[in-house]
Amino acid sequence: MRAVGQNDKKWPFGGVRIGLAVLALASIASGCGAGGGDGAQVEPAGGQQPLKAPPARALDAYATRLRAAHTARVAAAKRWGLKKVPLTAPPPPARKPRITTRDGFEVDGHRRLELPPVFTTVPTDEKILFLTIDDGAEKDPAFLRMMSELKIPYSAFLSDYLVKEDYGYFKEMQDRDVALHNHTLHHPYLPALSYARQKREICGMQKVIEKRYGERPVLFRPPYGNYDKATLRAAKACGITHVPLWNEEVFVDHWEYREWDRDLHPGDIVLTHFRGREDWEGTMPDMVRRFMDKVTAEGYAVARLEDYL
């Protein structure tokens, strides 16, 4: 079955679609105003009660908001050097998809012990991707502005030994509707640790995020993507419900892929890191440009991971 693309749905802000939406709304508003102004009654079919059309003013206001939002996004894309205006993700599903552990990623007794699912892709037919960013080393104010102006959703997985240098930076991120999740206190290789030490790493970070940001995370990503049965048992004991890994990783100068086809797929989780010029030959905004130019060119929008779990 062919995946549903962005061109198959009339979501707002998508290039020509905004013009069509505005024209349609204008036509409806004009029709509603004929013969009675705001709140005019629409002639019913035989035996039915009259239908009251919505006020033309409401339709005009909606069209105006669409135009303004699209204009702002076009300007932001130009300001930040993107090749195309990012596509807007469809509304999240009313019924969340069922998340299961990816084949080959299970641990012994995974289902019997009801351990959190480990996955790299969210089941969906929509051409959407999920951007996730790990650790917290780089704290670039330009990155916060860029993501807010472009309205690109992402999820942050934080390690305290890096975040504690500037808790305020990530509070500002949270205030911009970014969810903050668990990536352990000190970013160790967890399978080398005992169950008790793994639990301290995971539960300890739960407490830090709850204390600093007021919410206890339910998502956890093990450092390096490495885990064992003790990791997932500890994560569950600390209140974790999902363990998202990734299917692609984007850097400032290249992409890396988990799948043999080296391509994007609907629902894929993409990993990157909070990094700057000390680690990359570029900045976080440079990385975002590489990410957005590719996904937009291939017809993908970026959605909010938490809305699907």
Report the C-alpha gap between 128 and 106 in whole angstroms. 25
Q: What is the mean pLDDT of the chain?
A: 87
Quote the tokens at residue 196: 């008790």
Those residues with Cβ within 8 angstroms of residue 111's Cβ, 6 or more apart along the chain or in another chain = none
> Which domain CATH number covers 271?
3.20.20.370
Those residues with Cβ within 8 angstroms of residue 187's Cβ, 6 or more apart along the chain or in another chain = 135, 159, 161, 162, 223
Whether 58 maps to a domain, the answer reads: yes
Number of structural domains found in the chain: 2
Same domain as 194, residue 65: no
Whether 110 maps to a domain, the answer reads: no
Same domain as 245, residue 298: yes
- Its pTM stands at 0.81
Q: Are 217 and 159 in contact (CB under 8 A)?
A: no
Same domain as 71, residue 198: no
Condensed to tens digits (0 to 9), the pLDDT of residues 217-269 reads 999 999 999 999 999 999 999 999 999 999 999 999 999 999 999 999 999 99
Whether 91 maps to a domain, the answer reads: no
Same domain as 232, residue 155: yes
Those residues with Cβ within 8 angstroms of residue 23's Cβ, 6 or more apart along the chain or in another chain = none
pLDDT of residue 65: 81
pLDDT of residue 57: 78
Question: Residue 3 has what DSSP assignment?
Answer: P
Condensed to tens digits (0 to 9), the pLDDT of residues 142-196 reads 999 999 999 999 999 999 999 999 999 999 999 999 999 999 999 999 999 999 9
Whether 96 maps to a domain, the answer reads: no
**Nearest CA among 99, 91, 302 for reference residue 219:** 99
Same domain as 282, residue 160: yes
Report the C-alpha gap between 248 and 306 in whole angstroms. 18
Condensed to tens digits (0 to 9), the pLDDT of residues 112-132 reads 999 999 999 999 999 999 999
Report the C-alpha gap between 286 and 281 in whole angstroms. 9
Same domain as 174, residue 63: no
Residue 231: which domain range? 118-308
Question: Residue 115 has what DSSP assignment?
Answer: P
Residue 231 phi/psi, 5° resolution? Answer: -60, -50
Where are the alpha helices (H) located in the chain, listed in sequence order?
Answer: 16-33, 56-79, 141-150, 160-163, 167-175, 195-213, 229-237, 284-297
The alpha carbon torsion through 120, 289, 264, 281 (nearest 10 deg) reads: -70
Condensed to tens digits (0 to 9), the pLDDT of residues 7-64 reads 444 343 344 344 444 444 444 344 444 444 444 444 444 445 555 556 677 788 878 8
CA angle 121, 125, 131 (to 5 degrees): 40
131: enclosing H helix or E strand: strand 128-135
Whether 28 maps to a domain, the answer reads: yes
Same domain as 11, residue 133: no
Same domain as 171, residue 30: no
pLDDT of residue 4: 39
